[in-house]
Structure 1
Amino acid sequence: MKRCLSTALPSRLNILGRDLLFVLCMNTVIAVSLNYGFQTGGTFAHNFLYSQLIGLSIWIFIDVPRVLIWWNDRPRRWPFMCLAVVAVPLGVVLGSWATRELLGLPIKSQAEAGDMLRMCLVVGMLASASMIYFYWSREKLAYLERQAALDALQREESEKQLVRAQLMALQAQIEPHFLFNSLANLDGLIATDPRAARQLLQRLIGFLRMSLQHTRAEQCTLKQEFELLRSYLDIQGMRFGARLAFQIDLPPALAEAEIPPMLIQPLVENAVTHGIEPCMNGGKITLSARDAGDGSVQVIIADTGVGFCQGHSKGSGMGLTHVRERLARIFGATASMQMEENTPRGVVVRVTLPLVRRTDPTLAPVRAPAHGGAPAMATPAVSSS
């Protein structure tokens, strides 16, 4: 309650202060008009005092109730007009009486009083018309501005909700072929090698558990992302055997760099599906990260598969499209993705992101060595060579 009062009081005082400054300026303009335009008689000092006191009286009877009743909201038309009709004659009477008292003017004759009343009414009508126009126009403009700001906030919130839903849908996608192939491989191993089947099942359970955690998070570290990808490549290694080798290289200084979860996984899946799988002799996938300078980190996925010539002959390329969409929606122009030929064959994908480190690191980076054929059980974490 105290907080509300402390913020409301300065707001109302600021409104009254702005209005008072406007009234004083308009009263001065009216005084000059009466003295040199209408030539109502009397000295400029008398006309100035009349204008100021009558205008201030009308302002008090109009603006103070308006602020107390409507505050920052737009006044309703007919209640405000009724307020002005009552305030104008009261302000004229009060301002005229105050002027006579301050100047010590004697009671005038009936003719002089009529002339003075007409002048006061002219002053009052000019002052009230200017104030009513000012208040109504200003409040209408303020109301439209508030409505426009509210509409903009609602649109922005709707866009945020849409983008958030789209990003969650994108990062929640798991390559269905990978799951189907893993389950088919598991079915074959159950009959021929139960121990290997159990090992594959354990790794698949661990991978799905980590994937589920990633889909529920808005950010993860490079270490966590690389651990998930190492688990994925371990499973694929059991499927491809000696046809798939991989190496993961994560410098300790970049282990706590934050990235959107499951951003790199579609690129690694592409390297396996479109690079290694079509290649008769298989190949090697290297996943690494490096400090690219200028406050950015670069993640590199390189494979020695078939390359551009045959690697994209099948598949829809949705993985690359999803990665590009996420980069554009989250980072805009500060992130990029480039693809190029690898040497002697294969593809290299470089993803450059703004470098943001987690302030309270809880995980220490370790190393995943190069693997060939069916890899052994996963080590605790990933680090550099």
Structure 2
Amino acid sequence: MLVNKKILLCVSGGIAVYKAVALVSKLTQAGAHVKVIMTESARQFVNPLSFQVMSKNDVFYDTFDEKDSHVIAHIDLADWADLVLVAPATANVIGKLANGIADDMVTTTLLATTAPVWIAPAMNVHMYDHPAVLRNIDRLYADGIRFIEPSAGYLACGYVGKGRLEEPEKITALVSKFFEPQNLPLKGKQVIVSAGPTLERIDPVRYLSNFSSGKMGYAMAEAARDLGAAVTLVHGPVALPDPSGMTVIAIESAEQMLEAILSRYDAADYVIKAAAVADYRPKQAAQQKVKKQQGDTQMELERTPDILATLGAQKTHQLLIGFAAETNDVETYALDKLTRKNADYIIANDVSKTDRGFGADQNTVTLYGHDFVQHFPSTSKRALATQLLETIIAQSGVAK
């Protein structure tokens, strides 16, 4: 849920600043874009370079240090954010914000933003219980600001009580929950997606494979994730970064791909077989490099496991979706595959065209179901994946 979300982290001074560095790490790992503003006191505990390294962005701390002359920094940051986090928030910064004081980069930006603001306090237990602090918290809450309650435990000052900054993992989970859309059609569903080619070894340096880039399978996995599903992506050798927000399993051969899917098949609601599996493998893979000989040679091949057919034969409650990449007679082969492999849907495309299919960012496909056909014109694979899943859900309902 945090992919491409823009989080502005305002860091005020206290020993808990070190946790804010870990928070930036957790948020960026979850796919968020994070920018950091520090107070002067926060810089006494942690060097801005730590936040810069974790966020891959400039760190701001001086209202008058305009890094980009085309914008006013604190206004630009205030407008940029989808959510503003103040963590750790000291009694001082809480008091300033409650009374509309803007005397540094953090407080000036907080007054300028229209984004939701969350505050995660961290201070001594007696400071947190002080009537002035509680009064300021109540005032900010009435203004629409929300608080991440500090946890109880051993504090840096030696006291034991409420005042510890909540753990970065918990804050990240709360932020993710905040951005989670409601009424997603695949929420609570388990989806397995296979993607990319498989690789069948001839010897330690040679193999049989195909030209699949994995882009369409990755797009299907990301679309399922964004529609609320818990996604497992099983992929062969590809040159794509692992998408966030899902379980990713890298395999090499058709046999390994089948094993990875079957081990999770019983719990799956949807299985999307977008991988281009090698149909044959050497009957005997050499343990050492096969040396070149004079004249021609022959290699005996055997069939790899038919993954889609195996899944179709073992299907109970799962909705099974296959792909058919063809160079001719696309409809004939797609309909045959739909019936013969006991699939619920086949997504077919003509890979003989250079502007679509393998390696391309665009695709044109036709969705075949039992007594159902729909053509999807050329569009980006990511947009197409969402259209396909939404159509399948509308046609078949959400898998039980």
TM-score under structure 1 normalisation?
0.24
TM-score under structure 2 normalisation?
0.23
Q: Compare CA radii of gyration and give the structure with the larger one.
A: 1
Q: Does 1 or 2 have the higher relative contact order (CA < 8 Å, sep 6+)?
A: 1
